Amino acid sequence: MSDPIDLAQEAEERYRAVALRRHQLRAVCKEPLTPGVCVACGDPIASGRLAAFPVARRCIECQQDLEREARRRGLDRKMEERGR
């Protein structure tokens, strides 16, 4: 005969084990960031770009996409003020 509290504890332990495992898997996936490979598309990053930005994690195309997106989200105003 199982005590409901025992069952709840067991369920919680199982839940924690799963969460911990997921966390570990995520950490492992995140860790081996291959230098010189774009994190967004997986293409190799141009060596010229790597020389200029050794910490670059995106290829030029993805970086430009990102910057375009950032500008679209509200940086245009600043750009215009400075530009003209």
Where on the chain is the footprint of Zn ion (CB under 5 A)?
38, 40-41, 43, 59, 62
For Zn ion, the closer CB: 24 or 64: 64
DSSP 44: B
Hey, what amino acid is at 82?
R
State the nearest-atom distance from the C-beta of 79 to Zn ion, in Å: 23
- For residue 55, the one-letter residue type is V
State in angstroms the smallest separation of the CB of 48 from Zn ion. 15
CA 32, CA 34: separation in Å to the nearest integer?
6
Instruction: Closer to Zn ion by CB, 22 or 35: give it.
Output: 35
Q: Which is nearer to Zn ion, 11 or 40 (CB)?
A: 40
